[in-house]
Amino acid sequence: MNLKRIGAVIGAAALLATGAVVGIAAPASAHTGAVKGTAQCQTDGTYTVTWTYTQTQTPNGDEADVKVITHSPEPSTLYASAVGVSHPVDGQLWLNAWRSHQNSGGQSGIPARTGNWTASFTQSEIKGSAKAAEVAVQTDWRGWKSADSGGTVQLGGDCAVAPAHDAIAQATVNPPTCASASTVQFAIENASWDSSSYSTEVGKHSRSATAAGGHLFSNGKSTTTVTYEVQDELTGGDCTPTSYQTVVWQMPTKPADSNSATWPQTFVSVTPETTETLDVAVPDTCGTYYQVDSYVDNATTQALLAAVKNGTNLTSPGNPAESLAPGGLNTAWKFVINPDCKQVVVPHVTSTDNVCGNGTSNATLTLPAVEGVVWHVNNPATDQAPGTYPMNVGGPNVITASAAAGYSLAQPFEQDVTFGPVKTNQSTNPQADCYVPPTITACDAQLPVILASNLDNAGWNYTVRSAGHYDYTPATVKVWTDDASGNALVAGVHAVDIPLQDAGSPAIDLTNASGAAPGLRLGIHLNGEGSSDGDLVYQGAGQWATDAHGFGVAAGSGFASLGTLQDYLAKNPEATIVSVGFQLGAGEKGSAEIVSITVGCQTFTFDSKPTAVTAVATDASGGLADTGSNLVFPLAAGGAIILLGGAAIAFVMIRRRRSAGEQ
């Protein structure tokens, strides 16, 4: 093949190649989105990146869902402004939405921009050591396609918290005197001297310091050099007799060392001196720190004293101007560092208000014993020892506390306590406050015994039915029923007036009992006077029952009330026993002899007395016979028999009449 042919072939190949590139190259693309960002180091040592998303080549009216789908590094925070959802939802930050998607997924207010537009969002709290920040934005054009746009910002990885410009290193030179060259006093805060030694020789000197981490000097640098000049002592005509002023200053915090005063310093006291001395009184309160300075008494010192006495503080060495005496540490000035205080938390005091009692105040106030705490009640100038104290009605009583020597209070303490009125016990109204039930008391002085007999019922009233009986016997009254019918009833009652409180232990003494026994009954008036409101019937084991209502004692065993006499007295403190009695039946068969009944200090007994019979004789003339006549024995004997017979008949008639009356 000749050269011309070869050239033609090469040219054809080149043309084919060029045609292929043109054929596959995409036309200028439409619908594009791009992300760019700028980073800024924040004062808190983190980066913040402001991202801008720009949508271009998008026809007007074309909608797009646009959201940030990923971001790094973690942790960092995404947020946006001027959109409805300012923080990510399900990890995605929405920047734009189709109109139909603006309120989907519980979201609302997302912009629905169309065509070309720009939106910004922020990625914050990125660690200061991070080297890069990245985001990915997904764009979904409606009816077209989706595309992801990525953005990367390079970070230096050296973002740190901005240091504070509060480091201080200063030197104050005090003028020379006739006795010594000038002296120098150093102050340093949030920094340290590069060397602990420094020159005090006459001449110009310097001292270097380095700021502590996170701090800079006022010029924004981490190091500084302090220069000072020591002048020789005065001579000749410059020397005059010198007087001094020794001043005590209080420092706000504890110095780090003997050369590191703290500022501002507050004026405490001044003492005129004829010689240079630091030996003056200094407060010894724990947790306080002082600087004592000896000043040459001159115009500078007088101006300083006038200023500080009017409230000006010494804010740094020489500010206001000072004229320290010569000699340096422990000669011209010194520190007094009192021991740190033990801090104590003051507890609340406790108190008890007036409760029911004997009519005097029983309120108390208790001041607990707490190490380091001094109590005061109503007078801050008077100390009150720990303990429990009786208190009067009213208030407020103001309780305060102060710190003992060597202690400080965690916070000021004041507590007010007011006490209510006196409450007095009472035993008359169960519904009122402070009710204390009276108690059943035992008899302390027996009353005369009341004896009932066949000759005198002595106030006893008996009730019998046809199958019930009673009969006085020697030393008893016998009661019995013939059967268990409704007519089997015998009862006796005697009126009394005995406060229920004085009931003691009521008892009925029985002998020769068989079958059912008579029960002891007490008639009770609840308010103290009047007829009975109901009977209490003894049930044994200290229990008394009633079917009457209004006694206030709980029901039991089928009775309206069942309880002890103390229970009834507690509910009815004014109750009075208005009758004492017994009852056998109705509907019970039994018999017993009642020896006595005792209630409180009153005892009732029973007996049978013989009935006296007098024989009367008449003479033939109808006159009274001489009971001392000399009748022959047969006549006397016959008369006696007749009289005894008549007496027997009379006794039988009396018994029958009584039985009929009982029925």
CA distance 444 to 365: 42
Does the pLDDT of residue 623 top 50, yes or no?
Answer: no
For 444-490, the pLDDT digits (tens) are 999 999 999 999 999 999 999 999 999 999 999 999 999 999 999 99
CA distance 57 to 505: 115
For 491-502, the pLDDT digits (tens) are 999 999 999 999
0.85 exceeded by pTM: no
Among 389, 397, 383, which Cα is nearest to 367's? 389
pLDDT tier at 553, thresholds 50, 70, 90: very high
CA distance 229 to 366: 65
Tokens of 419: 């006490």
pLDDT at 647: 42
Q: What is the mean pLDDT of the chain?
A: 86
Q: Are strands 363-367 and 350-352 parallel, antiparallel or unpaired?
A: antiparallel
State the average pLDDT over residues 418-433.
94
For 11-24, the pLDDT digits (tens) are 333 333 333 333 22
For 293-348, the pLDDT digits (tens) are 999 999 999 999 999 999 999 999 999 999 999 888 899 999 999 999 999 999 99
**Helix, strand, or coil (residue 378):** coil
pLDDT tier at 94, thresholds 50, 70, 90: confident
Residues with Cβ within 8 Å of 230's Cβ and at least 6 positions away in sequence, in order, are 173, 181, 182, 183, 184, 199, 200, 201, 202, 203, 205
Does the pLDDT of residue 149 top 60, yes or no?
Answer: yes
Between residues 100 and 445, which one has the greater pLDDT?
445
Q: Are strands 215-217 and 164-174 parallel, antiparallel or unpaired?
A: parallel
Angle at 207 between CA 203 and CA 209, to 5 degrees: 170
For 104-137, the pLDDT digits (tens) are 655 677 888 899 999 899 999 999 899 999 999 9
Residue 329: Cβ within 10 Å count = 12
Q: Which CATH architecture has domain 32-154?
A: Sandwich (2.60)
CB 99 within 8 A of CB 113: no
Residues with Cβ within 8 Å of 444's Cβ and at least 6 positions away in sequence, in order, are 601
Domain ranges of the chain: 32-154, 164-337, 344-424, 450-607, 613-663
Q: Which of 45-49, 107-111, 221-225 shows the lowest mean pLDDT across its residues?
A: 107-111
CA distance 84 to 94: 9
Q: Which CATH architecture has domain 450-607?
A: Sandwich (2.60)
Residues with Cβ within 8 Å of 634's Cβ and at least 6 positions away in sequence, in order, are none
Cα 607 to chain centroid distance, Å, stands at 73
| Neighbour order of strands in the sheet with 32-41 | 32-41, 46-56, 117-127, 77-80
Sign of CA dihedral 265, 271, 272, 276: negative
Does the pLDDT of residue 621 top 70, yes or no?
Answer: no
For 176-218, the pLDDT digits (tens) are 877 788 899 999 999 999 999 999 999 999 999 999 988 999 9
Q: Which of 34-48, 100-114, 340-354 shows the lowest mean pLDDT across its residues?
A: 100-114
Residue 272: Cβ within 10 Å count = 9
Q: Do domains 32-154 and 344-424 have the same CATH topology?
A: yes
The residues with which 37 forms a beta bridge, in sequence order, are 51
CATH 2.60.40: does it fit domain 344-424? yes
Does the pLDDT of residue 629 top 70, yes or no?
Answer: no
CA distance 547 to 533: 11
Q: Percent of the chain having pLDDT more than 90? A: 69
CB 305 within 8 A of CB 249: no
pLDDT tier at 85, thresholds 50, 70, 90: low
CA distance 457 to 454: 7
Does the pLDDT of residue 361 top 80, yes or no?
Answer: yes
